[in-house]
């Protein structure tokens, strides 16, 4: 059985030592956008929320850095980083969806690479809204 919990900003350091540091793996996918230390700082300052899931039978855990965003026409739960091997199934996502609904969100969003996009599309019927492109100004291609 899986349980979702939110870690208060005051307890980020303890959660980091308990496994939330694995979110650093997700930061690698974001390339130069954020480092694990910077993510930890955002979480500890309350600028992002840390949620976790734990399997009460096996002790397996998954972690996500999230934030509720109020856009002009919609409120969403935005997933900034997620590390959840073995915890990315329908039961865990239902818990995340319940958390999102309790916070007033009508959907869950996240910037994904192709692998995660395929996973979310296949398992949770996610749809691509748009793509984020980057033009490296240092490369001199512009």
Total number of domains constituting the chain: 1
- pLDDT at site 60: 86
Distance, CA of 59 to CA of 137 (rounded, Å): 46
**Domain containing 86: what range?**
2-139
pTM, entire model: 0.89
Over range 3-15, report the average pLDDT. 97
CATH, residue 112: 3.40.630.30
List, in sequence order, every beta strand (DSSP E) within the chain.
2-7, 49-55, 61-70, 75-83, 107-110
Model confidence at 5: pLDDT above 70: yes
Q: What percent of the chain has pLDDT over 90?
A: 61
CA gyration radius, the chain: 16
Model confidence at 88: pLDDT above 70: no
């Amino acid at each position: 059985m899986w349980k979702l919990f939110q870690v208060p900003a005051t307890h980020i350091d303890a959660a980091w030592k308990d496994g939330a540091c694995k979110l650093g793996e997700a930061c690698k996918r974001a390339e130069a956008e954020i480092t694990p230390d910077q993510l930890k700082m955002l979480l500890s300052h309350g600028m992002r929320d840390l949620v976790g899931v734990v399997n009460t039978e096996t002790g397996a855990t998954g972690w996500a850095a999230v934030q509720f965003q109020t856009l002009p026409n919609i409120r969403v739960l935005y997933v900034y980083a997620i590390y959840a091997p073995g915890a990315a199934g329908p039961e865990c996502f239902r818990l995340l969806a319940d958390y999102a609904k309790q916070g007033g969100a009508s959907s869950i969003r996240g910037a994904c690479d192709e692998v995660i996009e395929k996973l979310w599309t296949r398992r949770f019927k996610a749809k691509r809204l748009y793509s984020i492109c980057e033009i490296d100004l240092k490369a001199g291609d512009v």
